Structure 1
Amino acid sequence: MTKRFEEAMRMMRHRDPQMQEDGFGVLEPHAAEHLDELIEAFREEQDRGLRAWLFELIAAARDSKALPLLVQHLVDDDLRGYAVHGLVVLDTKEARTALYRDRANGED
């Protein structure tokens, strides 16, 4: 894990809401650089709120490595919006196909 990622995660777990926001802000512009770390942290995290933030950062990375995770969470009520957004901004053939299938199945 990189020092930036470790520090941002420490901040995001802090009790102070502003510190949490600041930690998110540290990672947001660098989400693509930390995608593997974000995915690993997302899979291990138990806190629902932090998982949502991690997933939001994964979607913001705009990297096709995130495609399977984004598609998997199209059915997750808590993360669906981030999954849809992530697929829209990814804008690959595979992402568009996943969104088309999702809509065809009666979702948004």
Structure 2
Amino acid sequence: MANQRVARALESMRSPDPALRAQGFDFLREHADAYVEEIVVAFGQERDDDLRCLLLELVAEARSPDALAFLADQLDNDDESLRFWAIRGLEMLDSAPARQALHRARVNGWIA
């Protein structure tokens, strides 16, 4: 990973120490808008479902138009937690393309 600060935060989020996990998450939450691309890449490489959910939450909280396609791709995910954060992220974007993605997902029966 190119950005060492992001890499350290992700490493902290994998720690068995709850304080370190929270510290890594809090750092990324504060800077999620600047690191959306890195967080999306980390999501794609991560195998731990709980951490993937946290990473998707960070992307949603970033409110970055650059994440629209990524969030829309998660709308048909089998994992309800991931769908929740994808919906939330698109709702927070509050743009015409985000609303269209949500509408398509409803029409396709992926979300209610």
TM-score by length of 1: 0.91
Name the counterpart of 2:71: 70
SS at match of 1:33: coil
Alpha-carbon distance in structure 1 between the residues aligned to 2:106 and 2:38: 30
Partner of 2:98: 95
Runs of 4+ in 1 over 3 A off after TM superposition: none
Distance in structure 2 (CA, Å) of the matches to 1:4 and 1:41: 13
Structure 1 position 8, deviation (Å)? 0.8
What is the total number of aligned residue pairs between the two structures?
108
Counterpart of 1:80 in structure 2 is 83
* Aligned-CA RMSD value: 1.3
Q: Which SS does the other structure have where 1:73 is aligned? A: helix
- The one-letter code of the counterpart of 2:33 is A
Task: Identify which range, 35-44 or 94-103, moves more after superposition.
Answer: 94-103
In structure 1, stretches of 5+ residues that fail to align are none
Letter in 2 for 1:35: V
List alignment gaps of at least 5 residues for structure 2. Answer: none
CA distance in 1, matches of 2:11, 2:72: 28
The two structures have a TM-score, normalised by structure 2, of 0.88
Q: Deviations over 1:42-75 (max 9, x none)?
A: 1111111111111111111111111111111112
CA distance in 2, matches of 1:11, 1:42: 15
Partner of 2:56: 55
Between the aligned residues of both structures, percent identity stands at: 40
* Equivalent AA in structure 1 for residue 58 of structure 2: L
Aligned partners of 1:44 and 1:97: how far apart in 2?
28
